[in-house]
A and B are shown apart, each in its own frame.
Chain A
Amino acid sequence: MHPILGHFRRLVLYLAAWGPISAILVYLFVSLTGLSWGRATALALPLCLVYAFVCLSAWYSCRNTPLDNSGSWLAHFAAALVASVLWIGVAKGLAIALSSSHTFAGLDQQMGLAYPLLFGSGVLLYVLAVALHYVLLSNEAAHEAAKREVEARVLARDSELKALKTQVNPHFIFNCLNSISALTSTNPATAREMCVRLAEFLRKTLGLSEKARIPLGEELDLMHAYLSVEQIRFGPRLKFEENTDPEAMKYVVPPLLLQPLLENAIRHGVATLTDGGWVRMEIKTSAAQTLSIRIENNFDGDAPRRKGAGIGLKNVRQRVDTTYGSRARMDVESTPGHFQIAMELPAERAEAAAPQA
């Protein structure tokens, strides 16, 4: 919407500002061309009214050519010339029209010096209008930016809450608390240990979702905190093997990337198997600057799909997509009894990822 035409109060203010301008023009007409005050006023007032609206059109060109573009002033100057020439044309027409009446007879013959005057002031006024529109546009842009920033903050908070809700499965917490409750009488030390590990996991989860990237080591810490709790719950039923290339620790990943995948592997794997199951994780780096992560587990192929199957996985896939786009791959392979997720992420170091954060 036009910043002046679209707002009634601004339009009134803008037209009021043209009052002094037309007064100056009347004075210049009188002193330079020798017109009488009456004739000068009759000529200047309609001309200023017309030109006030012509100058408003500067907004369209201002909007399309940002100020930092060096060529933009040339374009505006050309527009100013065109506008002034048009204005002279209007003035000539007006003078001829007025001179047909008895009061202003012979006006068109007295114009002489009025045309160069109109041309000069036309260019000047148009350029002033351009400047005014740039000020208004930058005001508007600043306002928009502030609004966007607030919106982004609300969205981030939203997604953090959502992440918490989806990442930390409430049933996981209830089952943990039940295990702790069972341990308090038989094995208080383990009960306390489990409380501490659960707290560690929750605390780490809370802080992480605000960040765009975290060092892989931090993500592994979070995953281990989760794993250590599940290890107490499932005991020997849960076997976990990990093989991480120490080189990979230099790189950063989006937070809460591995833990949901591990949770997935346990919930739909180990938890469905009578004699327990295994989860294997392998993290490698390659010369092609990719970080390869593979997580596989076994599961009971006959078991019905548990509720919520695939939500954690979908969430991770979405985040990988929004973070890396086509620079990352994520392949899911499910054969009866065996499930595997293979990811290839661009290997980013902390500094490199920061500007995108």
Chain B
Amino acid sequence: MKANRKIRVVIVDDEDLARQIIREMLEPHAEMEIVGECANGFEAVKTVSELKPDLVFLDIQMPKLDGFEVLELIGGEVAVIFVTAYDEHALRAFEVNAVDYVLKPFRAERLEAALERAKQRMGKNQRASADQLAAAAREPGQYAERIVVKDGTRVHIIPVSRLDYAEAQDDYVSLASQGKKYLKQQTISSLEASLDPKSFIRVHRSGLVNLERVARLEPYGKDTHIVILNDGTRLPVSRAGLARLKEFLGEK
């Protein structure tokens, strides 16, 4: 980072007054430049993807996407300071390597301290992995209710009930929902861990299916099977996957 370059900041909060106080407290800092302000999660993903700021002040409870979902989509490359009225998310913030977690309301000194930490952090690569971000994007101890995917600057929200199956593709998973496919940076194991094991079955090292979409099982060659879904999709089934499927399908 060049010494004379300003630190580019985006403020994300759905409340006007909450953005205002951060703006005001950043004013004395000539090295900070506010390049964007967003009032909801969608805007935040779009703005951060386009402007590539160095630092984001991020609220947690917001319309459209909450702060952790925003972070999951914008990736770990940007330094994040959470600013929220809720103290119960602090642990998750720590897990995604957030720079700081500031509770509303706060003093100017508190924000200064957060800025100081952010400056020290900048340039050092301490980004959280995609899987860590995905894991933190849902409430601890609960299965995901929806999956968020970024496609360029657009955001897709897939309710888990509409996820038909998922396939591993290198560092990504391909999510099939209602005839469309979405690519997301996440391992299939991490995706599997986020979903209710009663609804989603890992049928193969590279495949996960929604149990409700399974039409039938067919033998395929010697010793192997394929699972056929309602829409005709054929997916390979491993031996362990076959055992799991049979257990849930009740030996169909």
A residues lining the B interface (CB < 8 Å):
171, 174-175, 177-183, 185-186, 232-235, 271-274, 300, 302-307
Contact = CB atoms under 8 A, between A and B. Distances in A.
11 contacts: A175-B18, A175-B85, A178-B85, A179-B18, A180-B105, A181-B105, A186-B20, A271-B63, A274-B14, A300-B64, A302-B159
Contacts of A303: 63-64
Contacts of A175: 15, 18, 85, 104
Contacts of A183: 17
B247 interface: no
A300 B63 contact: yes
B42 A178 contact: no
Given A178-B17, A233-B17, A273-B63, A304 B145 contact: yes
Interface of A: prevailing SS: helix
Which of A177, A179, A305 has the most chain B CB atoms closer than 10 A to its own CB?
A179
A234 B14 CA distance: 9
Contacts of A302: 64, 146, 157, 159
Interface string B71-112: 000000000000001100000000000000001111000000
A253 B103 CA distance: 37
B16 interface: yes
Contacts of B42: 274
A181 B106 CA distance: 8
A64 B17 CA distance: 69
A171 B15 contact: no
Interface string B174-191: 000000000000000000
Given A174-B103, A233-B17, A271 B85 contact: no
B139 interface: yes
Interface residues of B, number: 27
Which of A177, A306, A307 has the most chain B CB atoms closer than 10 A to its own CB?
A307
Contacts of A186: 20, 24
A132 to B, nearest CB: 63
A251 B194 CA distance: 51
A307 B15 CA distance: 19
Shortest 8 CB-CB distances between A and B: which pairs? A182-B21, A174-B85, A178-B104, A182-B17, A178-B105, A181-B105, A179-B17, A274-B40
Which of B21, B40, B42, B64 has the most chain A CB atoms closer than 10 A to its own CB?
B21
B17 A271 contact: no
B114 interface: no
A311 B198 CA distance: 27
Contacts of A182: 17-18, 20-21, 24
A271 B61 contact: yes
Given A272-B64, A273-B63, A304-B145, 4 more contacts: A186-B20, A271-B61, A302-B64, A302-B159
Given A182-B20, A182-B24, A186-B24, A271 B14 contact: yes
Interface string B41-58: 011000000000000000
A67 to B, nearest CB: 59
A171 B39 contact: no
